[in-house]
Amino acid sequence: MAIQPIRLFGDPILRSKAVPVTDFDQELRRLVQDLTDTMLEAPGAGLAAPQIGVGLRVFTWSIEGVVGHLVNPVLDLSEETQDGDEGCLSIPGLAIDCRRALSVVATGFDQYGEPVVIEGSQLLARAIQHETDHLDGVLFVDRLTPELRKQAMKEIRESDWFGLSGPPTVKVSPHPTGGLGL
């Protein structure tokens, strides 16, 4: 149970596809706890394993006082859409209007390997889609209109945190990742 550093825009792991979890063991439960602790401390509405340097298909969320997690998510999205501000802990200080499905049915597993189904709309649907995108190496700025993406990239380049540390720092994950965590 430890708060982990959050990887920032530009770190290669944020653009890598995470692999499915196959072992529902103590290490996975520690990862879920680390994700939860880090997300709540940040604070954020969600956090995916790649954001703390672990290339596994796991994320947590905290929406309207409800905290949860999902392992190996598969999404069924509504055709109806919503527009709204979206931000990301890996892109601090940026919130831009992004279109997402209005509702989602997410299937997957809990940290013990038990099947779960999460149904959500509005903010929960947005968070589930956002975090699942992280597991596929997709950032929310990739989903913006060309005009908004250009604006977002300008804000990122002008941010205090962008480029200050040079190339991203690579740290060894404390979790077994089969060589896939950077």
Report strand pairing: 58-63 vs 115-121: unpaired
The Cα–Cα gap between 34 and 59 comes to 11
Question: Which position among 27, 86, 131, 155 bears the catalytic label?
Answer: 131
147 is catalytic: no
What distance in Å separates the CA atoms of residue 51 and residue 88, rounded to the nearest whole number?
Answer: 10
- By C-alpha distance, which of 37, 10, 45 is closest to 182? 10
The residues, ordered by sequence, that sit 6+ positions from 169 with a Cβ below 8 Å of its Cβ are none
Token code pair at residue 155: 């804000």
- Give the list of residues 6+ apart from residue 118 with CB closer than 8 angstroms, or none: 68, 70, 104, 105, 106, 107, 108, 124, 128
Beta strands (DSSP E) in 91-182 are: 91-101, 103-109, 115-121
Classified as helix, coil or strand, 35 is helix
Q: Which residues are catalytic?
A: 131
